[in-house]
Structure 1
Amino acid sequence: MRMNTKVVRLDLGYYSELQPGFSQQRHYIAPYPQEEASHFVRRLLAYLIMYEQQPQLSKTATPGKEPDVFVQDTDAHFRLWGSVDVLSDKKLRRACHLADEVWFFISELDQPKLQHLPYQMNAHCYHFDEQQLLQLQQMLKPHMRLSVWRDTDTLTIADGEHWLEFLLQLAALH
């Protein structure tokens, strides 16, 4: 299913146990042209996981050439490169060269695809239950109101009707 909106207005209430404090902000997030909802929901989830680091979402769909979500320093160096797709060996090496860390945000169904990739010291992976990703996809709307709670190993997302808890385990790529 393709995203049927050009911009998602996200009213976000965010609380973190890691950096105590509550923030409430409005964000405008643009799906890629012709982006599938399943892809967009992984980009949104990556954004929420990285939220305290003030991530940015890529404006163009160029897997491996640009990250889907990223954190840059003041010199435009990638501190963190986030990808919601499994990259080829060549693109992974490029990402690892350009960034201090590379994080994958993928479905558990894509986990076996990582086995063929060579070990990279600065590459890690979050993988998520496919059913939970589908439930988060059902929460997508042109105007979303989300409450997010971040603990050390969980991310809880609620929209007033649904409530999801994602286990967060950042694992090294083997």
Structure 2
Amino acid sequence: MALKATVFKAELAVSNMDRGYYHTHALTIARHPSETDERMMVRLLAFALNANPQLQFCRGLSNDEEPDLWQKNLQGDIELWIEVGQPDERRIRKACNRADTVLIYPYGARTAEQWWQNIAPKLSRFDNLEVYYFSPQDTASLTSLAERNMSLQATIQDGMMWFGNDITTLSISPENWFR
């Protein structure tokens, strides 16, 4: 019998001063049985950084055809394709050919750096690709915020992010690897 996804609910208040975006989102996040709390919270960080009423979580790990998050326009065209982790070159190529903008958020100490060293030379031709790295210190501390029902706040200003709940606030600095 297959394991089912664990459902998390999050109320996420986003104040993005860089983009002039202020909104509270009621989110339902399905965490795949093989997904860690860290990865799920990185998906939530990616949502906060790119928050938009049309941005939505996809089936992610359980589907090769969809990214972790995407934003489509009214015609069904993909405006934004977001991957979390270390996708392979084929998947990145596919994303860049299908979407207006592709964002990748790798995380993890040496594995992310090694992945980037191997794949970066093959991606230089894509004008619509951006890669932002989350440090192991930033992502490991996120797991303390993971609960089945979360009330979170994200404040973004000058490329810095403050992310937390009523008890804990974390300072997170995504490092720009490719733009």
TM range (shorter): 0.7 to 0.9
User: Pairwise CA RMSD of aligned residues?
Assistant: 2.3
Structure 1 residues 1-174: aligned runs within 5 Å: 6-20=6-20, 22-52=22-52, 54-62=54-62, 65-107=65-107, 109=109, 110-117=112-119, 118=122, 119=124, 120-172=126-178
Deviates more, 1:126-135 or 1:36-45: 36-45
SS in 2 for 1:144: strand
CA distance in structure 2 between the partners assigned to 1:154 and 1:44 by the alignment: 16
Deviations for 1:124-159, whole angstroms, at most 9, x for unmatched residues?
Answer: 111011111111111100011112112131111121
Instruction: Tell me how far 1:13 sits from its aligned partner.
Output: 2.1
Deviates more, 1:74-83 or 1:14-23: 14-23
Contact 1:42 1:106 in 2 (8 A): no
Task: Identify unmatched segments of 5+ residues in structure 1.
Answer: none
Number of matched pairs: 170
Instruction: Tell me how far 1:32 sits from its aligned partner.
Output: 2.3
Percentage of matched positions with identical amino acids: 19
TM-score, normalised via structure 1 length: 0.85
